[in-house]
Structure 1
């Protein structure tokens, strides 16, 4: 039997196509030759479960992650994320805002990043783009909020149209300000462009079949028309609010645009805990709504991320027909509004199980966000 160190590069490269991110890192640590091979990418990465981006360790300032496939926590030194609030996850990249109310788009495992232009004003008459200095704790920002609070409130959610490593002409879309107003940015732009036509607050955004779709708090779905001037256009059937969902999400599930309604129950004080999730598909052509009862064995990951779904049949510790969820919040206390509401909903038997009991929320880093590692 030949020595492992004597394997040819093409064989080693083929082996790396079956490795998850943690195993890929272990592979690269074996020897110099294997490390060089690990940096090549002639094969697509192996199927993998997403990670949870958690809080920053107080003492080391390392960012904590949770690997679902290994049921294991990792603490990783990523200086670019120190003190930053996570407001979005897409294609393995994170949107992060610091206390100066400036944002970056970063791949946390390659540390490639883009500096984002100043965000638009939070609301009319409140211009935060002029802030230049980090304030002391006793100085309040616009509207009576501290700058730490503005760091949390300015961007509700952010997603990408494409992986920046695959396409340089990607588009970033955010929901910002008190009404979750949609705005977009492309590499080379000096500022964010606000999308006109908003009539109320927005719940979510998703990129689906080469278009950005926006889900309002009302009943009509929107698509973003970029030409001749960016604006929202109504599409599809009316989406009723039924039992008044606490939160609603848009997800692209293998070519189907889905609306997920999250029903919550208020328990002690102001804590809202998820009790059920309903899945509907708006038919954009026939103006009809379809209710979904399962994902054909797949699992969906819901939260401050763009669409993530995997075939649970490939992962023994992943729940089939499960919806893994985290909360979305703009509050400043870990004790309010379901900030510890983290679990998995079984679409078949309608039960909910907690994912794990470890404290995962800190107000200044945001709710846990699902992230598919993309270091290749």
Structure 2
């Protein structure tokens, strides 16, 4: 995995198999990045030296897909995405959201709290980037919802229908609805990605 360091022209290669990574206010200085590995451990990594510090152990648990997201208020969330494995092509069945409470001095996780309501925020999850926005700042965006796209870029031959696992998850009643109806002619294309334009 490659990640940008102190400037857009500086990149560092992290030799790890990661679930997700994020630059977070508690990962300071700026050369520190938070990553979640496949064992469910949260680590802080210095992108210049690849030196690692474990912030949380496997208590974060494995899920089919897991994301690190910073809320608009600066909280760090771990979002677990569970798939219905009984279908021919695994589809999202539910999400679990946890707020990580970190010690400001050591950066280590001291508590993990399940979150049922993220207030005015809406989460946008996918393979390219995970973001949280204040829904009231975007017309048509629903608060306390998770918008998600299919994470499987290489869809053939295991996903013959293409990237169709896309929807909106309501954290309040845990229902799922479509935000985009896949076009069968697009099944060989990569899934959509989220693009966040800078606020003026």
Is this a same-fold pair by TM over 0.5? yes
1:184-215 deviations in Å (ceiling 9; x for gaps): xxx1x5xx54336x5xx311111111431111
What is the CA–CA distance in structure 1 between the aligned matches of 2:101 and 2:57, rounded to whole Å? 7
2:53 paired with 1:233: yes
1:346 is the counterpart of 2:183? no
Superposed CA deviations along residues 309-338 of structure 1, whole A, max 9, x for unmatched, are 222234563222000011211423287187
**1:277 paired residue number:** 95
Note the aligned Cα RMSD (angstroms).
2.9
Instruction: Give the deviation of 1:236 after TM superposition.
Output: 3.3
Count of paired positions = 187
Whether 1:367 aligns to 2:187 is: no
Deviations 1:157-206 (A, max 9, x none): x6657xxxxxxx525xxxxxxxxxxxxxxx1x5xx54336x5xx311111
**Where does residue 208 of structure 1 map in the other structure?**
24
- Please give the residue correspondences for 1:31-46 in structure 2 after superposition, counting only pairs within 5 Å: none
Runs (4+) off by over 6 Å: none
Structure showing the higher helix proportion among its residues: 1
Is the CA contact 1:237–1:289 (under 8 Å) kept in the aligned structure 2?
no
- The separation in 2 between residues aligned to 1:352 and 1:248, in whole angstroms, is 18
Question: Partner of 1:331: helix, strand, or coil?
Answer: coil
Q: Which has the higher contact order (CA 8 A, sep 6+)?
A: 1
1:348/1:332 CA distance change after superposition, 3 Å: closer
Contact 2:168–2:178 (8 Å) recurs in 1: yes
Distance 1:298 1:246 in 2: 23
Task: Decide whether aligned partners of structure 1 residues 225 and 348 sit closer, same or farther in structure 2, where only a CA change above 3 A counts.
Answer: same
| 1:256 pairs with one of 75, 98, 104 | 75
Which residue number in structure 2 is paired with residue 298 of structure 1? 121
Q: What is the TM-score normalised by the length of structure 1?
A: 0.44
Larger Rg: 1
Give the C-alpha shift of residue 290 in structure 1. 1.0
Check 1:335–1:193 CA distance in 2 against 1; reply closer, same or farther (3 A cut).
closer
Please give the TM-score of this superposition, normalised by the length of structure 2: 0.78
Q: Helix, strand or coil for the counterpart of 2:136?
A: helix
1:220 is matched with which residue? Answer: 41
Gaps of 5+ in 2: 104-108
SS in 2 for 1:313: helix
Alpha-carbon distance in structure 1 between the residues aligned to 2:14 and 2:182? 40
1: CA distance between counterparts of 2:41 and 2:123? 24
Is the CA contact 1:239–1:282 (under 8 Å) kept in the aligned structure 2? no
Secondary structure, aligned partner of 2:60:
coil
